[in-house]
Amino acid sequence: MADFLQILVTAVAVGSLYALIALGYTMVYGILKFINFAHSDVFVLGAWTGFTASTLLISRFSISGPPPLWLGPLVLVTAMVVCGLVGFTIERLAYKPLRKAPRLNVLITAIGVSLLLQNVGQLQFPIAPDLALPFGASPKRMPELLPDAALLTMSFGDNQVVIGLVDVIIVVSAITLMLALEVLVYRTRLGAAMRAVSFNTDNAALMGIPVDRVISITFVTGAMLAAAAGFLYSMKYPGLNQPAHEVWVLLGLKAFVAAVVGGIGNVRGAVLGGFLIALIEFMGQFVWARTLDQWFSTSMAPTLRDVYVFAVLIIVLLVKPTGLLGTPIREKV
Amino acid sequence: MLSRRWALSIVVAGLGLVAGAGGCEKKSEAPKGPAPAAKTPDSGSKAGTEAPKAGGAAADKAPPSGTGPILIGHYGSLTGSEATFGKSTSEGIRLAIKEFNAAGGLNGRMVEVKEYDTKGDAKEAKLAVERLVKSDGVVAVLGEVASGLSLAGGPVCQEAGVPMISPSSTNPRVTKIGDMIFRVCFIDPFQGFVGAKFARENLKAAKAAMLYDQKAPYSVGLAQEFKKAFEKLGGQVVAEQTYNGGDQDFTAQLTSIRGGKPDVIYVPGYYTDIGNIALQTRKLNISAPLLGGDGWDSEELGKIAGDAIKGSFYSNHYAPDQADAAVKDFIKRYQAEFNGKTPDGLAALGYDAACLLFDAMKRSKSLGGRDLRDAIAATRDFKGVTGSITIDENRDAKKGAVIVEMAGSPLGPKFRAQINP
């Protein structure tokens, strides 16, 4: 029981991060109808900008001991602004010139941008001791910006369920950001413009909507959400892998699967998909570990965690190709 | 219509399960079977068949002679997740070369090193060795640290008839590639035994849990040897869990482990993963000490894991605070060369590998692959920083190991025990 709840806690925390990343995939797809493969690298950039900003601030203000409460939010905002700018630049330089080109060209450009970000991230220009820009090729430890406390410890027999402050903050900030996005998309004029552009770009332009500006804002919003997810992720898993590590790519892929499972192009679907994918990943691992591994005395549960995620993708694509909340698009011949 | 759709989904679900089962079968074999791990599909199987051929290839090649500099090769992970492994080894090698050249080199000929980055990737490692032996024409190759990468690069050296000395690959399969492949470190059966012995005798542990990286031959091999030795010494392994190198979340594995109430958790992984493992272990209120192997050895470990790693132990090739004149002297020279940095075990082994190679060069009839190989194989009681090295008939080094504890401030390895074969 304790183990089940402990894994549930992790799954919800990680799920809210998947959801944040999935939102970026789904928003861009909704408007431009292509998959922004560079999105997962913006997520990585968010985590590493968070590392750089917090290390720099801690050494600049010579903070020792537990960092002040304002530091965490400040670093979060810094990471979001930097990644927003990067998202804007990527869209202007790489995707805008291809607005009228076939979609395949844009897709391949996205892969190129992704590789570029991965490799630039490995360059090293030392700006302070133990700190390099962009980020370097070795793993680093994210400074602890929040007191690493167990907020709630419940005992079940011998074992305990530990809910950390970090888990709660991740879920709360992720849900806050998602609600803010919900308001932006469905309650504001800008959101209406976004939805109009996603419905039909040409008609939206005829209605006097500044299409290019709306697309830019969509990219920046997606990038900022990814940056927030990256920062929160580095709070939960402070051992940061180097920017080109395959693990980052896998994380991005899972968020992409979440977007597809929820119905790509659908904002609420992405959130649903994010939580669903994390639950399936962690619960699949848990159930497998407790049943089949014990029957056959093996230990293959962790090895299979990615299999559950991609099996779900295959099932959803076969049974409901538009995703759980997606609506079918009718193409006129 | 509906029923057909349901039928389809059931079939799909079934397929998914079968695919899952198939996948796991394949993977679970990697640790157990003698077959090579997924990353190096050709290394193990090739090894046996090509060993005899190599001698011929070496004899055909004209031994490099002349008066120009002697080129040796090094391949290591200078970037990538295990970057400190390659960097430390490289620094050790460069220090050895500098001292050797300052002392006059090989009868006046200077030694130079050509270095390629493997990025911690088996494919890159193979390419790097191919460039070293085919384009650059090095007389000998030093590297790699990770066993999986040595298994990828080794067959190239074997085929080309160029001797290779791995400073720190501990998996037994590495030197089984062929008669051109040597190492200057102990091997996993011994290291696993050292861990088990320390756990049983010094920590008085009765129950141990294991958590290892099922993708790394190094980690899998070490875990198996530990289990064998620990059970032989009367202990019990209560939980056995795996992960994939680079994983970030270990909640599922650690909750399983905590159910077995182990006295010690054996985690023979690489330092990059150990950081997250240690942090999450302590977060789940598991207080048993972690115990690892030389893959932990990096100045980054203390930085990444912080207080979570305090009081944990690992087996290593040497300890910087060992009361040994040769070690102290080496540290002094290394610090003078590299801005006061304390050398880790990998730097010491890189240094020893290079020095052993130079020693063999001096004794060798020529710098041809065969002659050099014979000279290296004849090494007896070579005094290295990491102990006295004797190359045995399996081309492995016979030497002792130390156990260090992560302690002190700043957090670093502190000598706790010396265990000899």
pLDDT tens, residue by residue, A174-183: 999 999 999 9
pLDDT category of residue A4 using cuts at 50, 70 and 90: confident
Q: Tell me whether residue A173 is in a domain.
A: yes
Q: Tell me the C-alpha distance between A161 and A49, whole Å.
A: 32
Would the CB atoms of A159 and B304 count as touching at under 8 Å?
A: no
Percent of chain B with pLDDT over 70: 84
- Residues of A within 8 A of B9 (CB-CB) are 315, 318-319
A141–B contact, CB cutoff 8 A: yes
Burial class of residue B204 (count of CB atoms within 10 Å of its CB; 0-12, 13-18, 19+): exposed
Burial class of residue A4 (count of CB atoms within 10 Å of its CB; 0-12, 13-18, 19+): middle
Lowest mean pLDDT, pick from A56-65, B33-42, B59-68 = B33-42
Cis peptide upstream of residue A238 (ω within 30 degrees of 0)? no
A126–B contact, CB cutoff 8 A: no
Would the CB atoms of A289 and B256 count as touching at under 8 Å?
A: yes
Residue A284 has pLDDT above 90, yes or no: no
Return the CATH fold of B43-186+326-399.
Answer: Rossmann fold (3.40.50)
Query: Which chain B residue is nearest to residue A167, measuring alpha carbons?
Result: B283
Would the CB atoms of A6 and B255 count as touching at under 8 Å?
A: yes
Average pLDDT, chain B: 83
Q: Tell me whether residue A216 is in a domain.
A: yes
Would the CB atoms of A300 and B24 count as touching at under 8 Å?
A: yes
pLDDT category of residue A291 using cuts at 50, 70 and 90: confident
Spatial contact of B113 and B75, defined as CB atoms under 8 Å apart: no
Which CATH code is given to the segment(s) B189-316?
3.40.50.2300
B109–A contact, CB cutoff 8 A: no
Question: Torsions phi, psi of B209, nearest 5?
Answer: -115, 155
Rounded average pLDDT over B242-247: 86
Considering only residues 217 to 246 of chain B, which have any Cβ-Cβ distance to chain A shorter than 8 Å? Answer: 240-244, 246
pLDDT tens, residue by residue, B146-189: 989 999 999 999 999 999 999 999 889 999 999 999 999 999 88
Q: Cβ neighbours of residue A130 under 8 Å, at least 6 residues apart?
A: A55
- The tally of domains found in chain A comes to 1
Strands (E), chain A: 124-128, 131-134, 140-141, 150-156, 159-164, 239-240
Residue B43 has pLDDT above 50, yes or no: no
Q: Tell me the C-alpha distance between A140 and A48, whole Å.
A: 9
- Residues of A within 8 A of B244 (CB-CB) are 302-303
For residue A82 the two structure tokens come to 């930097």
The answer for A257, left when phi > 0, alpha when psi is -120 to 50, beta otherwise, is alpha
The CA distances from residue B56 to B133, B151, B370, in Å, are 16, 22, 9
The CA distances from residue B42 to A132, A311, B33, B153, B355, in Å, are 38, 30, 15, 11, 31
Strand B264-266 and strand B207-213: the pairing is parallel
Q: Tell me whether residue A271 is in a domain.
A: no
Residue B162 CB neighbour total at 10 angstroms: 28
Considering only residues 38 to 97 of chain B, which have any Cβ-Cβ distance to chain A shorter than 8 Å? Answer: 79-81, 83-84
Would the CB atoms of B23 and A286 count as touching at under 8 Å?
A: no
ipTM, two decimals: 0.84
Q: Tell me whether residue A281 is in a domain.
A: no
The beta-carbon neighbor of A139 closest among B8, B272, B283 is B272
Would the CB atoms of A139 and B12 count as touching at under 8 Å?
A: no
- Residue A117, domain extent: 17-244
Cis peptide upstream of residue B320 (ω within 30 degrees of 0)? no
The CA distances from residue B87 to B150, B236, B332, in Å, are 16, 38, 19
Cα torsion through B368, B370, B372, B376, rounded to 10:
170
- Ordered by start, the domain boundaries in chain B are 43-186+326-399, 189-316
A139–B contact, CB cutoff 8 A: yes
Query: Which chain A residue is nearest to residue B79, measuring alpha carbons?
Result: A137
Query: Which chain A residue is nearest to residue B276, measuring alpha carbons?
Result: A239
